Structure formats: structure tokens, C-alpha cells
Structure 1
Amino acid sequence: MRVHVALLMTAMLVAGCAGGPSSTTDDAAPQAPAPTAASPTAGAFSPTDIAWLQLTAAMTQRLLPVLDLVPSHTSDPTWRRLATQVQASARADLTRSRDLLNEAGAPTTNPHEGHDMPGMITADELAALRSASGKTFQRLLAAHLRAHLAQAVKIAAAEQRAGVHPATTALAAAVIRAGDDDLARLDQLDRPATPPAT
């Protein structure tokens, strides 16, 4: 069962990295990056741990420019406060992820650079946010923030189940707690639409 969960985690972490829907052949299927053998502590990290840390760092790097826009694009104090809270958690998670990757001896380059994956804002979406303000900006921000937080919690839960490195799974638990709290705050500001009753 643990092997099965680990394989699911690896597949989820690399989904979308092989160039989109056209990359469906077996030989094009991406592999989770392996720890660097030269590092004396690399053996304590599994490929799933490394893959999750790299994806978490990449997702956070995409989120921070969005949060940086908030003070200049909305005057609503509640949205500004939410952005500040999410930003503080995101920066702490990014720092911790990088520290753990360094401890694992993993490559310092971002293997997800240029990839548009679930929970990651695209360049076009960021441009749309930059040109919006007020209620329109808040609506776009809510959608992107909700997608990011939900995906971050989802993959962190998978890391908790399938990861082996204690500090990495502890970070995953922290990401889940912060993500759930931030989603609850977001829902108070921007209730997601409920489907009509049938």
C-alpha cells in the first residue's frame, strides 16, 4: 500500500510537466528527481520528498508576485490583511523548502521553471491581475489564491502520507494547517459559488 501511495504521489507531483496533453506516451512520462548521491544526508530523503519540496518551492515562487500586487491594486483592508498573512506563511515555507533541498543535496535549479501546473498562476493570468483593480482584482485574486491553496494542501497531504524524511513531512503538515486556515479566511471574504440544487 505504501508503494502504491508513493507512486500516486510521484505521478501527481509531475503531472503537467511533460509539455501538456500531447505528452502521453510512456517514454515521455516524467520521473521524480532523485536525490544527489554526493550528499551525505541525501539518503534520508526519498524521491517523493525531493519532488514535493521542489514543487512546493516552484508554486510559492509563482504565488509571491501575485501577493505583491495586493497593496497597489485594492484598498480593501481585509484583502490586504489576508494577503499579508498568506505571504508570511508562503515566504517561511519557501525558505524552509530551500533549506531542506540544500540539506538533501538536491539541485538548486527549479525543475518546474516555465511549467504551468495546477495551482500555478500563468504569465497571462499575472498580466491580467496587473491590469485589474478594485473588485475585479479581488475576484481574480480570490480564484487564483483558492486554486493555489487547494493544490498546496492536496500535495502536502500526499507528502505526509508517502514521504519519509521527518522534517519534510513536518513541513507538509504545517503547509496543510496554514493552507486550511487561509482557505477559511478566503471563504469569509469570497464565498465560492454553490451549484444549484437539482
Structure 2
Amino acid sequence: MKPATVGLPVLAVLTLLLLARCVAAPSSHSAAGHGWPPVAATSQSQAAPTSATYNATDVAWLQLIIPMTRQALPVFDAAPRRTSNPLIVQLAAQMGNEHRAQLRTLQSLLRRAGVPDVNMHAGHNMPGMVTIAELGDGTRTKDAAFDRFFTEHIGEYLRQSVSLAEGVQGAGADRDTKAFAVTVGRARAADLDRLTGAPKATLVGR
């Protein structure tokens, strides 16, 4: 997972970056290694919408948030097997159910745009996305080590989800997609509050 390198004051720049252009991740996690700042929002890394109500930002948000969500689900699913921490298990169960329901709606919105559901970010190291390598390493840990993995990676996933949802609300065009971005942003902000609001000692186990 590439760490966040910008904050809300430059959210528009972050959103354009993630929604317009992504490149394969180098060994370094530096922002400069990923072609920042972005080029124009007509990058070939995203498919053009066929529905007139969508613009490139709507589609690119969907094409990013869908794989981000998919790659977080195995982390939620692993919790009951990898930790006995009741708080982590409870949070994982709640978020897993919520995010699966959100994923179905996101996929429906992408279909309505007339764009295939293809992971255009496979192999890319995007902010907030749990990578395949991280997933493999993290879901082999147990107890306190898994609790730390869960808190760190799901926390970053939720933070980036909220930022991206806010960005598409301002730059998107499709009414339904923008409305669902509000829903996703609020729900994941609430998830983040539950995750970060718990006492640290209970999140990282005993």
C-alpha cells in the first residue's frame, strides 16, 4: 500500500492523480516514482464512459474504488481465523458486510456507465489499496501482529476511500454516482471513527 502523501487542502490534485493516471509501482514508495502530479484527465489508463451522464472522473473513481474494496475484503474475512481480539473480529464482520453491499452498488454503477469491470490497477501500488503481497504477508500473521496489520492497512484504506469519495462529489458528473459517493464517504468515515476511536490497547491485542 502506498502511503498517503497529500492532505485535504490538495484533495483535487490527489483525486485527479488517482482518477486520471496510475502507473506500475516501483520498488520505492515515493510519490515522485508514480508520476505525480497527474497529467490530464483523459489518460488511457481508464475506459471512456458510454453513458452521456458520466464523465471521466465518475468512471475512474469507480475503477479505483472497486478494486480497493475487493482487496480489503480478504482482510476482513481473515480476522476470525487470525485473531482472538473481539473488537477486531467485530469490526471486521461489520465492515465486511457493509463493504460487500457497497461493492455491489459500485459494480452496478460501473455497468450503467457502459464500462467493463476490469481491474485497471492490477499490480499498481495505489494509496489505500492493500497489495497482494501485503495481503499474503498480513493474513499469515496472528493475534497482536494481525491486529496491527488490520489497524494500519484498513485505516489507510478507509482514509483514502473518504478522500476519493469527497473528490468525486466535486468533480464527477453522474448524479447517482455522486450521490453514492456521499454514502460511501460517510459510511467509511464512520468505520474509520470506530477503528481509530477504540483504545489502542484493545485494537492491538494483549
TM-score, length basis structure 2: 0.79
User: How many residues are aligned here?
Assistant: 182
Among 80, 84, 89, the alignment partner of 2:93 is 84
Alignment of 1:120-131 (within 5 A): 120-131=129-140
For 2:35 and 2:82, the matched residues in 1 are separated by 40
* Aligned CA distance change for structure 1 residues 191 and 102 (closer, same or farther; 3 Å): same
Q: Which runs of 5+ in 1 are unaligned?
A: 193-198
Name the CA distance, whole Å, in 1 between partners of 2:175 and 2:123: 30
Structure 2 CA distance, aligned partners of 1:23 and 1:90?
28
| Structure-2 change in CA distance of 1:6 and 1:119 (3 Å) | closer
TM-superposed deviation, 1:104: 0.8
Contact 1:48–1:162 (Cα < 8 Å) also in 2 = yes
Alignment partners' CA distance in 2, 1:182 and 1:115: 25
> Which residue in 2 is equivalent to 1:19?
24
Residue 33 of structure 1: aligned partner:
46
Q: Which has the larger radius of gyration?
A: 1
1:109-135 Cα offsets, whole Å, 9 max, x none, are 111122121001122211221221111
2:114 corresponds to which of 105, 111, 129? 105
Please tell me whether the aligned partners of residues 63 and 117 of structure 2 are also in contact (alpha carbons under 8 angstroms). no
Structure 2 partner of 1:75: 84
Percent of aligned pairs with the same amino acid: 36
Report the alpha carbon displacement of residue 57 of structure 1 after superposing the two structures with TM. 0.2
CA deviation digits over 1:124-147, x for unaligned, max 9? 211221221111110111000110
Is contact 2:172–2:178 with CA below 8 Å preserved after alignment?
yes
Measured at CA, do residues 108 and 85 of structure 1 come closer, stay the same or move farther in structure 2, by a change above 3 Å? Answer: same
Instruction: Supply the RMSD in Å over aligned alpha carbons.
Output: 2.5
> Given residue 13 of structure 1, which amino acid in structure 2 is its aligned partner?
L
- Higher helix share goes to which structure? 1
2:158 corresponds in structure 1 to: 149
Q: Does 1:55 align with 2:55?
A: no
By how many angstroms is 1:22 displaced? 4.7
Instruction: Indicate how the Cα distance of structure 1 residues 163 and 191 shifts in structure 2: closer, same or farther if over 3 A, else same.
Output: farther
* Mapped contact 2:83–2:89 kept (Cα < 8 A): yes
Q: State whether residues 64 and 121 of structure 2, in contact with CA within 8 Å, keep that contact through their aligned partners in structure 1.
A: yes
Matches of 1:64 and 1:122, distance apart in 2 = 12
Q: Give the letter aligned to residue 52 of structure 1.
A: W
8 Å CA contact 2:71–2:130 kept in 1: the answer is yes
The structure-2 alpha-carbon separation of the partners of 1:106 and 1:191, relative to structure 1 and needing over 3 Å to count, comes to same
CA distance in 2, matches of 1:23, 1:82: 32
Q: Which runs of 5+ in 2 are unaligned?
A: 1-10, 26-31, 202-206
Which deviations, in whole Å up to 9, do the C-alpha atoms of 1:147-198 show, x marking residues without a partner? 0000000000001111111110111101111111111110133549xxxxxx
State the alpha-carbon separation in 1 of the partners of residues 193 and 13 from structure 2. 30
- Residue 195 of structure 2: aligned partner: 186
